[in-house]
Amino acid sequence: MKVLVINNDGGGFADHVEIAEGTTVQDMFQQHVKNGRPADYLIRVNRQPVPADQVLREGDRISFTPTKIEGGGTTGAS
């Protein structure tokens, strides 16, 4: 079955990918975000927050958006 994967990490990308029946949100995160921790990402399916064990369905749209940007910090006026 096909789902749309949107990875907003770095340059970002979106692509339709073929996945096996029974694939969970956690499985997709591990496949598409190699060096990240789920706690550092906003993970949504069809624009809604979901649990890691949710099973994906045909046509779902899953997105991974980092909540922390490396090198980012606050700047103050001097």
Is 56:28 a contact under the CB 8 Å cutoff? yes
Rounded to a whole number of angstroms, the CA Rg of the chain reads 14
> How does DSSP assign 5-68, residue by residue?
EEE-STT-EEEEEE--TT-BHHHHHHHH-TT--GGGEEEEETTEE--TTPBP-TT-EEEEEESS
Residue 28 near residue 62, CB atoms below 8 Å: yes
How does pLDDT run across 24-68, given as a tens digit for each residue? 999 999 988 878 888 889 999 999 999 999 999 999 999 998 887
Both structure tokens of 38: 């789920």
pTM for the predicted model, two decimal places: 0.78
Domains of the chain: 2-66 (3.10.20.30)
